Amino acid sequence: MTASVAAALAGFAPRLPLAVAYSGGADSTALLLACVERWPGQVRAIHVHHGLQAAADGFEHHCRERCAQWAVPLVICHVQAQPMPGQSPEDAARHARYKALAEAARTSWPADGVLEVAVGQHADDQIETVLLALSRGAGLPGLAGMPACWDRHGVRFHRPWLGVAGEDLRAWLRARGVDWIEDPTNADARYTRNRIRRELLPALQACFPQIRSTLARSAGHAAEAQRLLAELAQQDLAATGDPPRIKALQQLSPERRSNALRHWLRQVAGRAPSSAQLGELASQIEACRTRGHGIRVRAAAGFVEREQDVLRYRPTL
């Protein structure tokens, strides 16, 4: 292995057996093969078939061939993600993919107890994520980038390649004579991520050769600060009640109130509100000083409404 690939695998200690999200691309191919070499007989593969492009059936066929070659049990998941109001198709597909991966890991090998899944995003993906967040004026959750480890849908997910450049993974595969699939959408300049990868990143690297490590360090600082804000929000929500009482929210400073509301909505709605939605909600809470003052603000995929002295989130049906 190259040093970076070896170091990443040396620091990766999941509970076995492990499932690997296997798309057939270079990143997931390197992840699957490296895990198979390290933990023979303890690795499973999950391929998510989105059906979003004509080449999807070819991806599945390639993954079946490689898993048969490496004696890796493979499960194919077919998903069709429908975006919720205000949600992009890409975001809907991502949520559907992780839900499918978790369900497949939990149910496909019940005797094995697979509860950990590794996915193949690498250092370049992390940089693209942070730059996209900067371009959108994101707060700390966006600037923190992608976490290396997190829990969702009853499964623990891992990203062991976040410190490894994509080209290092390709070089490792080429040294082994292993091929992979190139997703044709990766060359489509209509996607902002592709323009960042092909145009912006080379320019940034020419000016700042250490841009990968410095942006990763900044993302780590943002993640640490976000964890502190989450702890503060949990303390404030414990004091305001569940659901939160309006008068208790009014006792908080505007900054703590917004932080608590963002955290609460992420819990009950599954995603945070936009800045405009959060600002409107905070404004209406501040103005709610009489019994007859109503509150109804769109947030995420529903509405926050006043119910007597508390707030309720009601998803749009």
Q: Which helix (H) or strand (E) holds 9?
A: helix 3-10
The per-residue pLDDT string of the chain (317 residues; one tens digit each, 9 = 90 and over) reads 555 888 898 889 999 999 999 999 999 999 999 999 999 999 999 999 876 666 778 899 999 999 999 999 999 998 876 666 666 667 777 888 999 999 999 999 988 889 999 999 998 899 999 999 999 888 898 999 999 999 999 999 999 999 898 999 999 999 999 999 988 777 777 778 889 888 998 999 899 998 888 888 899 899 999 999 999 999 999 999 989 999 999 999 999 999 999 999 999 988 888 889 999 999 999 999 998 899 999 998 899 999 999 999 999 86
Return the number of other C-beta atoms located less than 10 Å from residue 312's C-beta.
15
Residues whose CB falls within 8 Å of the CB of residue 126, separated by 6 or more in sequence, listed in order: 145, 146, 162, 215, 216, 219
d(CA 18, CA 32): 10
- Burial (CB count within 10 angstroms: exposed 0-12, middle 13-18, buried 19+), residue 239: middle
